[in-house]
Chains A and B, each alone.
Chain A
Amino acid sequence: MPVIRDVMPAFELFQPTSIADTLGLLDRHENSWIMAGGLDSFDWLKDRIKRPEVVIDLGGVAELRGIREADGGVEIGANTTLTEVAGHPVVKDKFKLLAEAAGIVASPQIRNQGSLGGNVAQDTRCHYYRAGWPCYRAGGNICYADTPTAVNREHAILEADRCVAVSPSDTAPALIALDAQMVVRNGDGERVIPARDFFIGPWLDITRMTMLERGDLLVSIRIPGTFAGKPHYFEKVRDRQVWDFPLVNVASTMPTNGNTIEDARIVIGGVAARPLRLVAVEDAIRGRARNEETANLAAEIATQGAAPLRHNAYKIPLMQNLVKRAIRGEGQWTS
Chain B
Amino acid sequence: MAQTPQPPAPGTPGTPAPGTPAPGTAPAPGTSAQALGTPPPPAQVFPPVDPSKFKLIGQNYQTQDLMAKVTGKARYAEDYRAEGMLFCKLMLSPRPHARILSIDASRALAMPGVHAVLTADDLPAPPPPAGPPPAAGSVPSAAAAGGVAPTAPQQQAANAQRAANAPAAGPGAVGAPGTPPSAAAVPPAQQTPQTPPIPGEFALAKEAMYEGEPILAVAADSEELAAAAIEAIRVTFAPLDFVIDPLDGLRPGGPNGRTEGNVFVGGEVKTIKWTAAQFDELAAGRFPQDAEHGDLTSWGNVEQGFKEADLIVEHIHYQQSTVHQPLETRSAMAYWQNGKLYLHGSTQSVARTVAAVAGWVGIPQKDVVIISEYTGGGFGSKIPGAQTMAIPALLSKKLNGRPVMMRITREEETYIGRTRPGFQAWAKMGFKKDGRVTAVDTFIIEDSGPYRRQGDNAQAANLSTLLYTAPNARFRGLSVATNTPPRTSQRAPGGLQSAILFEPLVNKAAKQLGLDQVEIRKINAPVNGSTFGLNPPAQANRPRPKITSSYLKEALDRGAALFNWEERKQRNGQRIGTKVTGVAVSQSTFTAGSTGVDGLFVIKPDGKMYIHQGIGNLGTHSVIDTARVIAEVLEFPWEQCVVVWGNTSQGVAWSSIQAGSQTTHAHTRANYAAAMAGKKTLQELAAAEMGGNADAYRVGGSGVSGPGGSLTWAQAAERAIARGGKFDGHEVPADLNAMTKASAAALAGLGVMGVARDGYPRDGQTYGFVAGFAEVEVDVETGVYRVVDYVGVADVGTVVNPRSLAAQIFGGAIQGMSHVRSQKMVYDTHYGVAIGKRMYQNKPPTILDQSVDMKWEAVNIPDPGNPVVGAKGIGEPGIGVGGAVVLCALANAIGDDLLKRTPVQPEHIVTALREGRVTYEPLTAYI
A residues apposed to B, CB below 8 Å: 1-10, 43, 48, 106-108, 127-128, 131, 144, 147, 149-151, 153, 235, 237-245, 247, 311-315, 317-318, 321-322, 324-325, 332-335
Contact = CB atoms under 8 A, between A and B. Distances in A.
Contacts of A4: 89, 91-92, 227, 230-231
Contacts of A334: 577, 579
B612 to A, nearest CB: 38
Given A2-B230, A4-B227, A318 B577 contact: no
Contacts of A107: 846, 848
Contacts of A2: 91, 94, 230-231, 233-235
Contacts of B831: 144
Nearest to B912: A314
B907 A153 contact: yes
A242 B89 contact: no
Nearest to A6: B409
B782 A149 contact: no
Contacts of A9: 224, 227-228
Best-surrounded residue of A6, A43, A235, A315 (most CB of chain B within 10 A): A6
Contact of A235 (B230, B782, B926): B782
Contacts of A147: 830
A5 B211 CA distance: 13
B828 interface: yes
A8 B411 CA distance: 13
A70 B620 CA distance: 55
B782 A318 contact: yes
A216 to B, nearest CB: 27
A317 B914 CA distance: 8
Instruction: Point out which of B786, B828, B906, B921 has the most chain A C-beta atoms below 10 A from its C-beta.
Output: B828
Interface in B800-842: 821-822, 826-831, 833, 835-841
B846 A7 contact: no
A243 B848 CA distance: 9
Contact of A314 (B224, B577, B827, B911): B911
Contacts of B268: none
Contacts of A10: 224
Given A107-B846, A333-B577, A321 B781 contact: yes
A325 B91 CA distance: 50
17 contacts: A2-B231, A6-B409, A144-B828, A144-B831, A147-B830, A237-B906, A239-B822, A241-B849, A247-B907, A311-B927, A314-B783, A314-B910, A314-B911, A324-B781, A325-B781, A333-B578, A335-B777
Given A245-B840, A335-B577, A335-B777, A318 B907 contact: yes
Nearest to B826: A151
A151 B907 CA distance: 14
Given A2-B235, A6-B411, A150-B830, A243 B846 contact: yes
B830 A149 contact: yes
Interface string B289-307: 0000000000000000000
A242 B849 CA distance: 6
Nearest to B108: A2
Given A4-B89, A7-B223, A144-B828, 7 more contacts: A149-B828, A237-B784, A239-B843, A240-B822, A241-B849, A247-B907, A311-B920
Contacts, number: 138
Nearest to A10: B224
B849 A150 contact: no
Given A2-B231, A335-B777, A317 B911 contact: yes
Nearest to A149: B830
B789 interface: no
A241 B784 contact: yes
B70 interface: no
Nearest to B844: A240
Nearest to B784: A237
Interface in B754-773: none
B89 A321 contact: no
Nearest to B905: A239
Contacts of B409: 5-7
Contacts of B919: 313
B903 interface: yes
A265 to B, nearest CB: 21
B284 interface: no
Contacts of A238: 784, 906
A243 B840 contact: yes
A165 to B, nearest CB: 13
Contacts of A311: 920-921, 927
B410 interface: yes
Contacts of B578: 333
A146 to B, nearest CB: 12
A239 B785 CA distance: 9
Contacts of A48: 227
A317 B783 CA distance: 11
Contacts of A43: 838
A240 B412 CA distance: 23
Contacts of B43: none
A258 B911 CA distance: 35
Given A4-B230, A322-B782, A239 B846 contact: no
A317 B34 CA distance: 66
A327 B845 CA distance: 32
Interface in B875-927: 903, 905-907, 910-911, 914, 919-921, 926-927
A144 B840 CA distance: 20
A4 to B, nearest CB: 5
Contacts of B927: 151, 153, 311
A191 B644 CA distance: 67
Identify the 6 closest CB pairs spanning chains A and B, nearest first.
A314-B907, A6-B409, A149-B830, A7-B227, A335-B576, A321-B781
Contact of B828 (A151, A239, A240): A151
A43 B837 CA distance: 12
A329 to B, nearest CB: 12
B380 to A, nearest CB: 23
Nearest to A245: B840
A166 B841 CA distance: 15
Given A2-B91, A239-B906, A127 B841 contact: yes
B818 to A, nearest CB: 9
A313 B94 CA distance: 31
A290 B828 CA distance: 44
A318 B783 contact: yes
A242 B579 contact: no
Contacts of A314: 783, 906-907, 910-911, 920
B827 A240 contact: no
Interface string B412-456: 100000000000000000000000000000000000000000000
Contacts of B226: 7
Contact of B848 (A237, A241, A322, A324): A241
Contacts of B835: 127-128, 131, 151
A53 to B, nearest CB: 15
A244 B823 CA distance: 12
A259 to B, nearest CB: 19
A7 to B, nearest CB: 4
A200 B840 CA distance: 25
Nearest to A239: B822
Contact of A237 (B234, B782, B843): B782
Contacts of A235: 782
A322 B839 CA distance: 27
Contacts of A5: 409, 411
A7 B91 CA distance: 12
A149 B921 CA distance: 13
A2 B234 CA distance: 7
A128 B834 CA distance: 9
A274 B135 CA distance: 54
A43 B409 CA distance: 13
Nearest to A1: B231
B679 to A, nearest CB: 51
A244 B230 contact: no
A61 B920 CA distance: 49
A313 B911 contact: yes
